[in-house]
Structure 1
Amino acid sequence: MTTSPNWECLQDNHLQPIASTQELTLTEGQDYSLLTDLYQLTMAASYVGEGVETKQASFELFARKLPEGFGYLIAMGLAQALEYLEKFCFSAAGLEALKATGIFAHAPDKFWALLASARFTGDVWAVPEGTAVFANEPLLRVEAPLWQAQLVETYLLNTLNYQTLVATKAARLRDVAGAEATLLEFGTRRAFSPQGSLWAARAALAAGFDATSNVLAALKLGQKPSGTMAHALVMALTALEGTEEQAFSAFHRYFPTGALLIDTFDTVAAAEKLAQRVNAGEIELAGVRIDSGDIEQLSKIVRNLLPNVPIIASGDIDETEIARLKANGACIDGYGIGTKLVTGAPVNGVYKLVEIDGIPVMKASTSKVTYPGRKQIWRTYIDGVVQHDKLGLITEAKPRSQVPLLQLVVKQGQRLQLPESLADLRSRTTASVASLPPECRDINAPVSCKVNISPELQKLTQQVSEKNR
């Protein structure tokens, strides 16, 4: 889809300054390698100046802790991260614009030569998208020349953090709603940016949603967009043509498989009039949507009036509200989820250096200590249920009957696997969530699965810590 770069680093590209009246949007053909934080570039220039830019470095991307109220995360965003790495380069126009800032006046000439010929040549290890992970477990590790591994940090964090958040929310929503409920992604207008809305749609579909209302995202992903109608149509046609019934008739005439939004004026009155027409054989309804009011009570009344018509609920609904509605016997067949899916407590994933030139390193800052060395996650199952994970060094022997989660997905800059389908990602997410113990899936007071630190990793951490002191 168009959220990931698709360009050639042509010499005749022109990067024009953005005027205050222009819209700052990302399009195909732009230099995405400049979509980074300034300090990535200043550090890279410093590495070149010190002659260490080609030292082999390993960075791992992980969350120190889970967002509040979460018992797990669903890894997502790898496909866009890998596409970015495949296309990694700097255009001549982009480099000229960077030079023009004056910030790099003292940077060595070799820095510019390095960027001009930039390509990603490293290895990437990653947890497959749709896999449940826990705090301190790497979603991804980049092993590459230091300057390359440094420069890609910002983009990798951007796509993995946000898509992992949305995928985790989507997985929780599906888990609570059940397999039979229809879940529609309605978050485009609430996502943090146009690009974010496309990523959110993809993450939601990959983690179990049935469809998205985002037309561009759906078409780019080979899906059919899905939606209903807005109150504006009902209000406009009622004012112009006389009644709410005429507004419903008009919409149904052109979109007979579309759901009717029945809460613009009086939900019960609208349902009663529609029931009369349905019972008289004048109309067949594909569904109705309720977006406001006491959805629990209204759904029961509407179900009595329209017993064979699917009911969709929307309006700032999340997994907690779905659980409440189900517990109280609400008659709802599907949910349109927007704001609470695409916003919320962020996944604060970080990207930290763990090894440089074969030397394990760690951060020792208060409350931000990291584990040194390149690592693997080993998962233990009993009867298909996750018991615990072990975080250990990649040099350790494979534990008996444990499954490694990190897989080699890029070797010397070349992808080793074809992109996966949404159906495959959805299936993996469903199976991964189903494998978690009930206390981990609880949405009120979740208890995350235990992650054991191997004795070898504990020993290395102590050694590096003492060396740092």
Structure 2
Amino acid sequence: MASAEYSSVVQPLLTDLYQISMAYAYWKNNKHQDQSAFDLYFRKNPFDGEFTLFAGLEECLKFVRDYRFQQSDIDYLRTVLPSYVENEFYEYLIQLDMKDMKIYSIPEGSVVFPRIPLLRIEGPIIKAQLLETTLLALVNFASLVATNAARFRATTGSDKTFHEFGLRRAQGPDGALSASKYCYLGGFDGTSNVLAGKLFGIPVKGTHAHAYVSSYKTMDDLKLRELRDQTTGEVRPFAQMCVDYLEKLVPILGFILDEANSGELAAFISYAIAFPTGFLGLVDTYDVLKSGVPNFLAVALALHECHYQAIGLRLDSGDLAYLSLEVRDRFTRTSVAFNIPTIKTLTIVASNDINENILMSLEKQQHAIDTFGIGTHLVTCQKQPALGCVYKLVELNGSPRIKLSQDISKVTIPGRKNLFRLYGQDGKALCDLMTKMDEEEPKARTRILCRHPFLEKKRAYVTPSSVHAMYNLYWTDGEIRHPLPTWEEARKFAQEQIQSLRKDHIRNLNPTPYKVSVTDELYSFMHQLWIESVPIGELS
């Protein structure tokens, strides 16, 4: 992808101490060259939903590509590990790279589901182990916030616009940048985060704050009062034009002229003079309907006379559904009165601590909002703070490994696996199917037995119209071998992926679970290994 690199903290020491400790133990016991395979996956979809967007692959690959311990890292590790750790181990670390590793992955932006490996990491166990924590950190939040953005996006029609406004509420600078980047992947249209715009090419959006409005007390605070006509070049008495239009609006909108705050009008005039092609006013500093909207429309009409087009206004408090409908009504009345059709369709932006439930409520109330600016609930993922990805050993030196648990959800599916997505005649995904590596690939228009990984009675025959192999080999021989898309391409792909699911899988309330299955051969293989791994009890 074309996005710039931004985080210097993503380096080998961004890991848990026990990864370094295990690395030494592997090395000490001459086990470090054992060939391993690890799966990175999650156990449950977030936000009580039935889908997840996979994100973070690009950063994972950059991390693996640049993986090298610095001398300062080694010096620090000498102060952390026991004094008896041999110098040869530190010499091994300083020369270590990831050139002999292989990473298979699902493409970034894919819709994914519990249990399916998002990445499979193959190579010497010491290296695979050292990658664990950082890969999890890079995938967990990225996938969580991208999914959150997709869910917000899915609450309304595709004609609505969404902007991410969460920088000031995010968990630190790295959390803010990651949120901006992956919310865009999840379907948001822009961000207020200027640095994210520079680094990732995301459109940046924003207007002004309440402080700008309240910094003007009266019309006397205006330093500039004129605006050059965009068509004729004539210098027009813009401030006076706005005052005149405000008076003309009184009988049309039915407000009291003295209730329209003059400082607010001055602020709008000054902002329009600064940005005549980008005027979007924040109208709730005082009173939305009695002051903010009349003042905004007066300036918008004056801009129109000077051959400019205002963009719209923003609501940041109050009953958003009611206010948006009232605002749209006033736009319509003004449009008719002055015979200016574009006034009717001016953009209404809403912010004010919006979450998923508020969006669904607004839809039921048939609001008139065009654009949503969403911050806190989006970037902090308040509904669920973590995705819970895990990283498990599934094969060592060609021998499958299984982790058992009394909690079925924590039992691993052993061995290296392939993954296929089966599609129906309508082009929608039917289910995902995991196979053993040496199994024949499933074929379209062929009847396939798909089994639940753990529940014997849950099984079904599926005859797919098409079959898609999900894994690509992204990293091998020290290089990123599979081409990475641009960030725009990844965003488009993510939206196509969501559209490939049935609507009942992606709805916000009571979604239908998507089926993740294994072949009959893989089912028999894993359950035989399960039985072999559990000792037979004895009663006396």
Tell me, yes or no, whether TM beats 0.5.
yes
Tell me which residue corresponds to 1:177: 156
What one-letter code is carried by the residue in structure 2 that aligns with 1:253? I
CA distance in 1, matches of 2:144, 2:190: 18
Q: Give the counterpart letter for 1:413 in structure 2.
A: G
User: Would you say 1:112 and 2:90 are equivalent positions?
Assistant: yes
The separation in 1 between residues aligned to 2:494 and 2:217, in whole angstroms, is: 44
- CA distance in structure 2 between the aligned counterparts of 1:126 and 1:320, rounded to whole angstroms: 34
- The secondary structure found in structure 2 opposite 1:354 is strand
Equivalent residue runs for 1:50-89 within 5 Å = 50-89=29-68
1:324-375 Cα distance to aligned partner (Å, 9 max, x none): 2123210011111111211221211111111111111111123221111112
Aligned residues: 445
| Alpha-carbon offset, residue 144 of structure 1 | 1.5
Structure 1 window deviating more from structure 2 (177-186 vs 80-89): it is 177-186
Q: 1:265 to 1:117 in 2, by over 3 A?
A: same
Query: Contact 2:165 / 2:192 at 8 angstroms: preserved in 1?
Result: yes
AA in 1 matched with 2:322:
Q
Contact kept in structure 2, 1:182 and 1:335, CA below 8 Å: yes
The 2-side partners of 1:262 and 1:93 are apart by 54
Residue identity over aligned pairs, in percent, reads: 34
Answering whether residue 350 of structure 2 is matched by residue 313 of structure 1, we say yes
TM-score computed with the length of structure 2 as normaliser: 0.79
Contiguous gaps of at least 5 residues in structure 2:
222-261, 332-343, 445-466, 535-540
State the alpha-carbon separation in 2 of the partners of residues 100 and 275 from structure 1.
67
Query: 1:185-204 to 2 correspondence within 5 Å?
Result: 185-204=164-183
Q: Secondary structure at the match of 1:33?
A: coil
Paired residue secondary structure (1:243): helix
In the TM superposition, 1:372-383 aligns within 5 A as 372-382=414-424, 383=426
- What's the TM-score once normalised by structure 1's chain length? 0.90
Match for 1:261 among 282, 291, 294?
282
In the alignment, structure 1 residue 142 sits paired with structure 2 residue 125:
no
Query: Given that residues 415 and 436 in structure 2 are in contact (C-alpha distance below 8 angstroms), is that contact kept between their aligned partners in structure 1?
Result: yes
Q: Which moved more, 1:346-355 or 1:265-274?
A: 265-274
In the alignment, the residues of structure 1 paired with residue 176 and residue 299 of structure 2 have an alpha-carbon distance, to the nearest angstrom, of 38
- For residues 65 and 121 of structure 2, what CA distance do their matches in structure 1 show? 13
Q: Does 1:457 align with 2:498?
A: no
For residue 220 of structure 1, what is the aligned residue in structure 2?
A: 199
- Asked if structure 2 preserves the Cα contact closer than 8 Å seen for 1:176 and 1:323, the reply is yes
User: Residue 13 of structure 1 corresponds to which residue in structure 2?
Assistant: none
State how far apart, in whole Å, the 2-side matches of 1:301 and 1:165 are: 36
Structure 1: gaps (5+ residues): 6-26
Q: Relative to structure 2, which stretch is displaced further, 252-261 or 399-408? A: 252-261
> Per-residue CA shift, 1:113-156, capped at 9, x if unaligned?
22101111201011101111111111111112111111111111
Residues 135 and 258 (structure 1), Cα distance of their counterparts in 2 relative to 1, 3 Å cut: farther
For 2:522, the aligned partner's letter is L
Equivalent position to 1:410, from 450, 464, 475: 475
Indicate the residue corresponding to 1:359 in structure 2: 399
Alignment partners' CA distance in 2, 1:362 and 1:396? 19
Q: Which residue of 1 aligns with 2:75?
A: 96
One-letter amino acid of the structure 1 residue matched with residue 272 of structure 2: H
**1:247 equivalent in structure 2:** 267
Q: Distance in 2 between matches of 1:153 and 1:98?
A: 18
Aligned partners of 2:5 and 2:199 also within 8 Å: no
Relative to 1, partners in 2 of residues 1:299 and 1:124: Cα closer, same or farther, differing over 3 Å?
same
Please state how far the C-alpha of 1:31 moved relative to its aligned partner. 7.2
Alignment deviations for residues 290-312 of structure 1 (CA, whole Å, 9 cap, x no partner): 11110000001111122221011
Report the counterpart of residue 294 of structure 2 in structure 1.
Answer: 272
Counterpart AA for 2:313: V
**Structure with larger Rg:** 2
State the partner residue of 1:17. none
> What secondary structure sits across from 1:384 in the alignment?
coil
- Contact 1:49 / 1:108 at 8 angstroms: preserved in 2? no
Q: Deviations over 1:141-180 (max 9, x none)?
A: 1112111111111111111111111111122222333222
For residues 205 and 364 of structure 1, the distance between their equivalents in structure 2, rounded to whole angstroms, comes to 38
Give the corresponding residue for 2:369.
332
Residue of structure 2 in register with 1:384 after alignment:
427
Does the 8 A contact of 1:207 with 1:425 survive in 2? no
- Check conservation: 2:102, 2:121, Cα contact below 8 A: yes
